[in-house]
Amino acid sequence: MPPLKQLPAWTELESHYQSIKDTHMRDLFEQDPGRFKHFSLKLGKLLFDYSKNRINNDTISLLLKLAKQSHVEEWRDKMFAGEAINHTEGRAVQHVALRNNTNEPVYVSGRDVSSEIETEILRVKEMAEKIRTRAWRGATNQPITDVVNIGIGGSHLGPQMVTEALTPYAIHDLDIHFVSNIDENHINNTLEHLNPDTTLFIISSKSFTTQDTMVNAETARSWLEHKFGSDKYLHRHLVAVTSNPKAATEFGVNANNILKMWDWVGGRYSLWSAIGLSIVIAIGSEYFDDLLEGAHAADEHFTMTPLDENIPVIMALLGIWYNNFFNSETIAILPYDQNMHRFPAYLQQADMESNGKSVDRSGEFVDYSTGPILFGEIGIASQHAFYQLLHQGTKLVPADMLAPVSNYQCIAQHHRALMSNVFAQSEAMMLGKTADEAMAEMLDAGMSEKQAKALLPYKVFPGNRPTNTFLFDTLSPRMLGTIIALYEHKIFVQGIIWNINSFDQWGVELGKVLATNILEEINEGCVSKAHDCSTEGLMNYYFKLRSQVG
């Protein structure tokens, strides 16, 4: 395949960009009253409105051409066929197999793994049900009331995000806690309120070597041993999820309590696997199945729908349009549902660890921008924090807004006000406010012409700020599964077009190695290795201050 910027569609998009870059969406909407219909898609009860983007029919045709010329469909089929598309680690990428409920075989490098998946998911469900039904007893024969998931990155963010998002579906007499930070405050603050007799730890780590997780796991183990006087009862309070069972056994986890994950499931794509144990404990097997089914519905949509009606493909192409032609560097994720408060953080890892790469599949540095900086927060909170920049700042920040039209309890007064904000914000970002409108408004409010003129520049909103809106019935397990999988596939498509490997993460290695070396020096109490003068200065100051604070 020719380099990305030499693809015919890329060149055409460059000149198309010149012709559309100054067009205001106000005009596009005026010219085409059917714009909403043309630029919106549905999947089940999910509506994806992408009409408030700086696009016309030509933009979409050219972007679709780009997808074709980048062989998105061929790569998608390779992923679903279990080919080793993660070429730097020689691995297949088969998280989609975990939610395949078709009874069709699923392959990893030519081997059918469907029965393996079934067996392991059954073990997860059995374990979760034992805990939920109080059949699982701790060392003092008491039922488990608190489950602590110890993990980080993909072994933390996905389970935590889903568990929080599905709070209304969770069992009430069990609390799930998440500890990820190596900073002792995290585990101490959590354990402070817990009773070892009724606490179960899940050590979630694909590698079972991640420093943060292992240090927290050791603290948890000591906490249990301190209470029970020996490691004899650990098996009642410790479970591990890992692809490194040997390390988990050496750590002291009973073989029966080790749930398996596979190297063909990437950490940030692993919530569908045994890494989702905390989710199954919280919401139960049936709702977990719904979550998987929702994701599978998105997989089917992705694999079977033509590109021009394919939601993740369109999401990806719009992202590329802004990232590579408008040079916008960020994307804001704005859920209008309090229970989705961890969704932006979860997506941050999914997207930025996947597509934060600058070397292509042939080992060459890319000469174009790849993954965007993703940030976000609950929509309502953000309106009172950073929306000012979105509306009137100098940067173009495309945003995704997500909202359920009804929530679990749905107190009308709250929900109507919430929804009025969703509609108002995307409308305001698109329309903006012209100088004439701002002037008229101020004069109507009784301001003198002089005062109004002085304030006018501050009162104008440029508008033309792109948003996608996802509206869905309610944040059910099924809908959440669909939404997550759509984003996974969006990330995949972008990775293919940027010609990068979205499934490795070598960039996180260097810091880990250096931290291991520096830890040795910290343990020795002095700087003993060569460092730059800043790092050396910081370490020396640390040693000095440390000796003063004790």
Could you list the residues that contact ligand F6P (CB under 6 A)? 152-155, 205-207, 210, 213, 267-268, 353, 505, 508
Closest distance of CB 212 from ligand F6P, Å: 8
Check 512, 524, 529, 536 and give the catalytic one: 512
* Number of neighbours of residue 540 by Cβ within 10 angstroms: 12
Task: Give the DSSP H/E element, type plus range, for residue 220.
Answer: helix 211-228
384 is catalytic: yes
Compute the CA torsion angle 424, 164, 267, 260 (nearest 10 deg). Answer: -150
Cα–Cα dist 83/110, whole Å? 8
* Number of neighbours of residue 345 by Cβ within 10 angstroms: 18
Closest distance of CB 280 from ligand F6P, Å: 18
User: Closest CB to ligand F6P among 506 and 541?
Assistant: 506
* Number of neighbours of residue 85 by Cβ within 10 angstroms: 21
Closest distance of CB 253 from ligand F6P, Å: 14
Q: Is the dihedral of CA 460, 39, 483, 327 positive or negative?
A: negative
User: Closest CB to ligand F6P among 52 and 268?
Assistant: 268
User: Closest CB to ligand F6P among 120 and 353?
Assistant: 353
Closest distance of CB 132 from ligand F6P, Å: 24
Closest distance of CB 456 from ligand F6P, Å: 49
Check 193, 384, 450, 544 and give the catalytic one: 384
Task: Give the DSSP H/E element, type plus range, for residue 146.
Answer: strand 146-150
Under 8 Å between Cβ of 268 and 353: yes
Cα–Cα dist 475/486, whole Å? 15
Closest distance of CB 224 from ligand F6P, Å: 20
User: Closest CB to ligand F6P among 133 and 209?
Assistant: 209
529 is catalytic: no
Structure tokens at 7: 């693809």
Pairing of strands 199-204, 146-150: parallel
Check 83, 120, 353, 488 and give the catalytic one: 353
Cα–Cα dist 237/133, whole Å? 16
User: Closest CB to ligand F6P among 99 and 206?
Assistant: 206
238-242 sheet: strands from edge to edge: 175-179, 146-150, 199-204, 238-242, 258-260
Q: Which residue has the tokens 């984003």?
A: 487
User: Closest CB to ligand F6P among 207 and 249?
Assistant: 207
User: Closest CB to ligand F6P among 9 and 152?
Assistant: 152
Q: Which residue has the tokens 């780009």?
A: 66
Closest distance of CB 123 from ligand F6P, Å: 19
DSSP assignment of 479-534, as one string? HHHHHHHHHHHHHHHHHHHTT--TT--GGGHHHHHHHHHHHHHHHHTS--S---HH
Closest distance of CB 233 from ligand F6P, Å: 25
User: Closest CB to ligand F6P among 355 and 505?
Assistant: 505
Strands (E), 329-449: 330-335, 373-376, 399-404
DSSP 455: H
Nearest to 241 by CA among 224, 257, 264: 257
Closest distance of CB 505 from ligand F6P, Å: 5
User: Closest CB to ligand F6P among 208 and 233?
Assistant: 208
Q: How many CA atoms lie within 13 A of 42 on its CB side?
A: 6
24 three-class SS:
coil
C-alpha distances in Å from residue 77, one per residue of 81, 267, 499? 6, 21, 16
Q: Provide the annotated active-site residues.
A: 353, 384, 512
